[in-house]
Structure 1
C-alpha cells in the first residue's frame, strides 16, 4: 500500500488569500470544458439532493445548482 500525503487546510487558506481564483476556474477554457462535460454526463435533468466535495470558489456549484433541488457543497478552505 502506498502512503500518500495530503495538503493541510492552512495551505489552501494561504493560496486563496494570495489569489481569489488561483487555478483560473472562472476563466480557463479547459476548466469550462470539464464543467460542461460533467454536467452533460449527468443522466437526469433534475436531482432531489446532491453533494459536491471540494467546491473551491463555486464555479461548478453554480452549474450543479441548476440541476438540483438541494445541493450541499463543501470545501476544506474557508
Structure 2
C-alpha cells in the first residue's frame, strides 16, 4: 500500500512542477533609445548644476554650501532637462 501511495505522490509532484514553455521576446535596441537619451539629458543637467554649485561655493567661500547647492541644482536641472524633451 505504501509503495502505491509513493508512486502516486511522485506522479502528482511531476504534474505540478511542469511549466508551460514561454515564447521568447526579442528586444530591439531601438527600444532603449529613449531611456538612454533621458539619462544623457539628466547627466547634462547634473553637470551644469554641480558647476553652478561650485561657483556658488567659491563665491561664498564655503565648500559644504557649494556641494549642497551643486547637488540641489544638479538634480533639479537634471530632472528639468530630462522631462523637457
TM-score, normalized by length of structure 1? 0.24
TM-score, normalized by length of structure 2? 0.22
* Structure whose residues are more often strand by fraction: 1
* Structure whose residues are more often helix by fraction: 2
Whose radius of gyration is greater, 1 or 2? Answer: 2
